[in-house]
Structure 1
Amino acid sequence: MSDEDKKITGELPTAKPVKPEKQNPPILPREDKAECYVYIGANRLTDGLKCNTVYRGYPKELVEQAVTKYASISRLFVPVEQLSKAREEVRRKGTPLYLAWAEMEKEV
């Protein structure tokens, strides 16, 4: 094969790897991802409790303070993913969430 034929049929240059322009954000370890919780009990503003308040992460300190006054209050902090199911249970008599909610209501 002549040099002229090599120019015409020439070999394709090897492809260089393409670097993505934008780097993906780092994936955080599971414990760094905060799950959101919603309080679905009665308003107790003196205790810092307001219905439908969303908390990033479980409000451990708030629950520990309130448990001294309201024994079942910890049940009324539910993960956002379970909110619709928890609201149904609050309305259904006899469920643990209903009983916890009723305890909060009678404390008025």
Structure 2
Amino acid sequence: MAQEQVNRGPQGPEFGKAAPVGLLVIIGLLVVILALGYFFNRRMRKMHKRRDFAEAHGLDPFDIDTIDRRMAETEATGATTAPADSGDQDSSTEDPGGDQR
């Protein structure tokens, strides 16, 4: 009796074979995961570049518009170093980002 119940499962020539659609789904998911990884990596590099630039130039790291504008100005002039501080002005009271706080 127990032997009969075990053998009653799905059987036949097509049992156990995967459909070709499954391979396409797996390949599609792999492509999506690789694309997400690529775009995430690109975005993280840009974020680190902005943060490093903001820290080097004394800007607010959350003011993306000002950072992008200053980076474009720096790239246009070809300058790669941080601006020199003038000795007569206190940098703690200066707002280099131009924000109204």
Larger helix share, 1 or 2: 2
TM-score > 0.5 by shorter chain? no
Please report the TM-score for the alignment, with normalisation by the length of structure 2: 0.31
TM-score by length of 1: 0.30
